[in-house]
């Protein structure tokens, strides 16, 4: 799998993958125009949406109504010694739809934890960065 990263101007950085473009920009206070989520916001969203697809599939496979189903993701940060903020905890809360069977409560929580993005964070890949001439 390969992704092409391009620089269309300003603080915008785009990712092209599978004939689609993911647009990013920095917030105004970070020197950007705020026209798209920042890369870090996409990273955070990838965690919640990944868990969300597992939760949605869980309900669909059991023919459980999904109206009212939602996830809320809260991020907690701590200040580091150098004064920067560090992501310290992510809490996902599943808002179950009305009439959700109690017998599936623990199972849907475990299902949300199967998210492949979370699994990568728990067992991170090796990173290699190099530079080459065009």
Residue 58, phi then psi, degrees to nearest 5: -55, -50
- What pTM did the predictor assign? 0.88
pLDDT higher than 90, residue 6: yes
Band (134; pLDDT cuts 50, 70, 90)? confident
Instruction: State the pLDDT at residue 98.
Output: 94
Cβ pair 34, 11 in contact under 8 A: no
């Amino acid at each position: 799998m390969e992704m092409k990263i391009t620089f269309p101007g300003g603080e915008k950085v785009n990712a092209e993958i599978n004939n689609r473009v993911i647009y990013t920009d920095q917030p105004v206070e970070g020197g950007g125009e705020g026209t798209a989520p920042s890369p870090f916001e996409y990273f955070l969203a990838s965690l919640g949406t990944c868990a969300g697809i597992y939760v949605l599939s869980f309900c669909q496979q059991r023919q459980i109504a999904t109206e009212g189903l939602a996830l809320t993701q809260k991020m907690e940060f701590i200040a580091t010694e150098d004064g920067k903020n560090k992501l310290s905890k992510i809490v996902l809360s599943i808002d179950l739809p009305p009439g959700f069977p109690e017998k599936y409560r623990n199972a849907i929580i475990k299902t949300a934890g199967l998210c492949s993005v979370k699994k990568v964070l728990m067992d991170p890949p090796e990173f290699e960065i190099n530079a080459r001439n065009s």
